[in-house]
Amino acid sequence: MKLPIISRVTMLFSILAPVSSMSTYAIPEPELVPGENEPFSFLCPNNRWFDKSFLEEIALIGKQAIENGTKDRGFPARVFALTYDVDGDVWYYPIDENRGEFVVFLRTGRVVGAGYSAATTDDERYLHPCQLQMVITSLFILLTKIGTAKNPNQ
């Protein structure tokens, strides 16, 4: 009587063991998106910084190309490899093609990111996000004003 039960448990374990040992695919977290009215910059791995006004100029060129229906060497192009927490299609346009850096923007021209493409050993190119650097000057000014208001001797 115990032998059939043990046999069934063993069979069940042998069926479920490969399934339980498989790695699970994690959905990547969306990239951080800067606020529309906040100052920001992006730092890429090659230590190049891109500030908001510069990226907005490049995004405007990309936006105009979308509106005109023109493409230059395949750009602007839709971004599928990176996820951003925004509504609408996300596009990218090269900042400097020789370096593989690009601005990521919405069809409205709003900058949502910056990134770079890197070649791999199999001659494919992968898109990677640059790091968002929030400028906290307005917060610093506010905290400074609060600090001086509390202490009239300063």
User: What is the Cα–Cα distance from 124 to 110, expressed in whole angstroms?
Assistant: 29
* Domain at 42-150: CATH code: 3.10.450.30
User: How do residues 25-64 score in pLDDT, each as one tens digit?
Assistant: 556 678 878 888 889 999 988 888 999 999 999 999 999 9
Closest residue by Cα to residue 106 from 33, 47, 54, 28 = 33
3-state secondary structure of 104: strand
User: How do residues 2-21 score in pLDDT, each as one tens digit?
Assistant: 556 656 655 545 555 555 55
User: What is the Cα–Cα distance from 11 to 6, expressed in whole angstroms?
Assistant: 9
User: What is the Cα–Cα distance from 73 to 76, expressed in whole angstroms?
Assistant: 9
**Terminal CA-CA length for the chain:** 88
User: How do residues 81-122 score in pLDDT, each as one tens digit?
Assistant: 778 888 888 998 999 767 789 999 999 999 999 998 876 666
Domain map of the chain by residue range? 42-150
